[in-house]
Structure 1
Amino acid sequence: MNKISIIKASPQSLVGGQLNQMALEYMAYSLAGTKDTSIIEKTFNKLWRSKRNRFSHEYAYEAKMQNKTLGMIMCYPTTLMNKLALPTFTQLFELRNWSLIKYNLQHWKEFYSMVTLKEAKNDESHIGTLATLPESRGLGVGTQLIQFAEEQAVIQGFSKSSLTVKRENLLAIKLYERLGYQRVGEINKPSLSLYRMSKILV
């Protein structure tokens, strides 16, 4: 059986931006300022290749088998994630200009939910996005990526790992609970309903 390896993500990855989109689902609309799938794809591919934003390859790891990417996880200290909020918006504005502003004025509830989202506490290492390609399902890729992120958190001196998950994503919730994550809060905002989950690592 071929072994899955987890490595630091590459800016040249052909699916990094796509995996971020998959993880974000409908939240990608507000970030890209459109529902046009081709524009969303271009926007997230550019963010992936750039540095100093929440969706950059800098903070991601890829699960690979025979040189093919099967999934991706993005993880960072909460304090770093919060510091990346403004640079991320700045880069999005540079990419989308006034189209971003126009979309979010028209869909202000989505925008409000995004900018006021408090995903994690400062003493946690946070899993920002996690996604696997459909062809990797059943291989345990998601589990391996989460365990790898937890190892990175411990190396960086954190004793807690956290993530958020959409309340309707029952399969993901089941996986996280199986891996030791517990629901520690709810985030209920216009057009956005999430569970906050956390795990004690050491």
Structure 2
Amino acid sequence: MIRNAVITDQTEVAVLLYNALHEIAEKLTGGNTHEEVLAGLRHWFSQPGNRLSYENCLIAEQDGRPVGVIVLYHGNEANRLDAPIVTYLRKLHGDASIILEKEADDDEYYIDTLSVHPDYSGKGIGSALIQKAEEQCQMLGYHKIAILADMSNTRALSLYKHRGYIHDYTITLVGEPFAHLSKTFMT
């Protein structure tokens, strides 16, 4: 079953987000240890108005618990959604120059993160979450959806290409190359 996320999903979703985001999760939370990063992810997930908020998440639920998550927002909302995180990180590090790289283009519905628990991998949950994201994109009247994938993650790249996503360009995040893949819907 795919459903909207709720605040009480925070414990399971924090683990899923960390599994997908790795160094990006450390950067977003300012955490140095595994537990600090998980605590930061739980915090941001439970707060409205930021990129990792439950408001922007769909959950795949099986056996009564979240086993997959997809984080979605429109690219033109990225700066607003990143603002509370940037403010926090600047204060935490005492560095007013901290910024977050813009991942989403202004003309796209953006899949920020997709993660499936390893015990449920290969069971179509990621595909189901992407399908639901594409349906939501079209329902909201958007014509383009996009995602970034680590260039070394051949399994993810294959999944997105199989679903009709095109590799438009490559960007660098946390020093690593990521493929920007997009799919356009006819009006």
Tell whether the structures are fold-level matches, with TM greater than 0.5: yes
Partner of 1:6: 2
CA deviation after TM superposition for structure 1 residue 193, in Å? 1.4
What are the superposed Cα offsets for residues 117-155 of structure 1, whole Å, 9 maximum, x if unpaired? 232322210001110001111210000000100100001
Which structure 2 residues correspond to residues 40-79 of structure 1 after superposition, within 5 A? Answer: 40-79=37-76
- For 2:179, give the aligned amino acid: Y
Q: CA RMSD in A?
A: 2.1
Question: Is it true that 1:131 corresponds to 2:115 in the alignment?
Answer: yes
State the shift of 1:34 in Å.
3.3
State yes or no: 1:148 paired with 2:132.
Answer: yes
Maintained 8 Å contact 2:51/2:73: no
- Counterparts in 2 of 1:159-198, with a 5 A limit? 159-188=143-172, 191-198=175-182
User: Aligned equivalents of 1:198 and 1:120: distance in 2?
Assistant: 11
Query: Is the 2:4–2:57 Cα contact (8 Å) retained in structure 1?
Result: yes
Q: 2:84 & 2:62 partners in 1: Cα distance?
A: 33
Cα distance between partner residues in 2 of 1:132 and 1:67: 15
Per the normalisation by structure 1, the TM-score is: 0.84
Aligned-partner Cα distance in 2 for 1:136–1:188: 29
Q: How far apart are the structure 2 equivalents of 1:33 and 1:26?
A: 10
- Does structure 2 retain, via aligned residues, the 8 Å contact 1:17–1:47? no
Alignment gaps of 5+ in structure 2:
none
- Is contact 1:16-1:57 (8 Å) kept? no
When normalised by structure 2's length, the TM-score is 0.90
How far 1:159 sits from its partner (Å)? 1.0
Quick one: distance in 1 between partners of 2:64 and 2:173? 40
Q: Does the 8 A contact of 1:19 with 1:132 survive in 2?
A: yes
Distance 2:102 2:50 in 1: 17
Q: Match for 1:133: what amino acid?
A: H
2:167 corresponds to which letter in structure 1?
R
**Residues 24/178 of structure 1: CA separation in 2 closer, same or farther (3 Å cut):** same
The CA deviation string for residues 53-91 of structure 1, in whole angstroms up to 9 with x for no partner, is: 111101001001232211000111111223211122234
CA distance in 2, matches of 1:73, 1:57: 10
Aligned-partner Cα distance in 2 for 1:125–1:140: 22
Q: Following the alignment from structure 1 to structure 2, what is the Cα–Cα distance between the partners of residues 53 and 91?
A: 12
Alignment of 1:84-163 (within 5 A): 84-92=81-89, 97-98=91-92, 101=93, 115=100, 117-163=101-147
